[in-house]
Amino acid sequence: MSNSSIEQEIRRIAERVDEFILSNINGEPLKLYEATLHYIKSGGKRLRPFLVVKCCELCNGSMDKALPIASAIEMVHNFTLVHDDIMDNDEFRHGVPTVHRCYGLPYGILAGDLLLIEAFNTVVKHGKDIGLDGNVITRLIGILAKACKELSEGQALDMEFAESKVLPEQEHYIGMINKKTASLFEASCVLGAVTAYADEPSIAKLASYGRGIGLAFQLIDDLIGVLGDSKVTKKPVGNDIREGKKTLPILIALKKSNDMQRTKILSILGAKGVEQNDILYAIDTLTRLGVEKDIRTTAESYITDAIKSLEGLSINGDNYNNRVKAKEALVSLARFIVERSR
């Protein structure tokens, strides 16, 4: 599939997911539910629901069967966004005012909590509606809970990195994003497969695929955070440098730089009142050191392994053409993730 085709398919599924969530999350008081749906209404790629749907289809399931579970994983993801923005005291997310800025801190906390509650409630309630048996529903809940535990641990590790004056080693950073980001990508794939009653070897292969593209996704996100075009990202140029985030592009740059460059980058990283010229110096230094190539090469290695995980999947039997298309979509998504610029 071409990039335009995969983006069109991502949008198609995103529309179905948004429609499902907006139709099923409602109640009083109104302000709480407005806060809860704030990011859903602002749009988004919905990559994690896309994975649920395509992994379900690949394992001989259907869009209709996957939709409630796909929507649940998006609720979990939005829960993390709302609480992350509170912890980071961010005012905007992709050009949209953050939940706690619009509705206040208490409502921000409650909105995040409600999203998490509704995610589990959706699996239970709608899992029965789509004909899943009790054992499968219990397993789906366990998968979601495990992912939530891992991403919470990953967030805590990220906070420890931020608070420490010691720079993390590359393997420690990869371990952190493995929990904070890749865990939910893996869970999305496993949820889709389990919803379709896939066999255990298939579930394991899709878990490996999800973990790999999750790592690649975060690495490219890190790259965009320091070298991304502000017109595209809706964030200031060099935003992660300004915020002092010790992401892999920064760690690689510090490792490759000479003493003068290293000292200068460290003096700029997260400094209060840093001048724009200093940010531009850091960006230029990272560019000249070839950081983008290093990050994309590392991300590409994860994508290559992820795609290899799909090669051993058997898709013979019922709905062969639909399953082939689902596999093609997963391969295209992997490529889309590593090639993206926003």
Per residue in 34-48, pLDDT tens? 999 999 999 889 999
Length of the chain: 342
| Angle made by CA atoms 304, 305, 311, in degrees to the nearest 5 | 95
Q: Over the stretch 135-144, which tens digit does the pLDDT of each residue have?
A: 999 999 999 9
The pLDDT of residue 342 is above 70: no
Contact assessment for residue 188 and residue 210, using Cβ atoms and an 8 Å cutoff = yes
Residues contacting residue 94 through CB under 8 Å, at least 6 positions apart: 42, 44, 233, 234
Q: Place 67 in a pLDDT band, splitting at 50, 70 and 90.
A: very high
Per-residue model confidence (pLDDT) at position 44: 87
Statement: residue 151 has pLDDT above 70? yes
Task: Tell me the mean pLDDT in the region 94-116.
Answer: 95
Mean pLDDT check: name the lowest of 11-25, 48-62, 157-171, 296-310.
157-171
Can you give the pLDDT at residue 179?
Answer: 97
Q: Per-residue confidence at 133, pLDDT binned at 50, 70, 90?
A: very high
Each residue's pLDDT tens digit, 209-253: 999 999 999 999 999 989 877 666 666 678 889 888 899 999 999
Least confident piece of the model among 92-101, 194-203, 233-242, 324-333? 233-242
The pLDDT value recorded for residue 230 is 66
Tokens describing residue 201: 């070897």
Residue 93 has phi, psi (to 5 degrees) of -130, 115
- Cross-strand partners of 102: none
Mean pLDDT of the chain: 93
**Confidence band of 270 (pLDDT split at 50, 70, 90):** confident
Cβ density class 173-209: b for 16+ within 10 Å, e for less:
bbebbbbbbbbbbbbbbbbbbbbbebeeebbebbbbb
**pLDDT at residue 341, as a whole number:** 60
The whole-model pTM stands at 0.94
Is residue 18 pLDDT above 80, yes or no? Answer: yes
**29: cis peptide before it, omega within 30°?**
yes
Query: Percent of the chain having pLDDT more than 70?
Result: 97
- Of 116-120, 209-213, 221-225, 297-301, the range with the lowest mean pLDDT is 221-225
How far apart are alpha carbons 329 and 10 in whole angstroms?
9
DSSP 61: -
Scan for tokens 């209709």, then name that residue. Answer: 64
β-strand 92-93 against 96-97: which pairing, if any? antiparallel
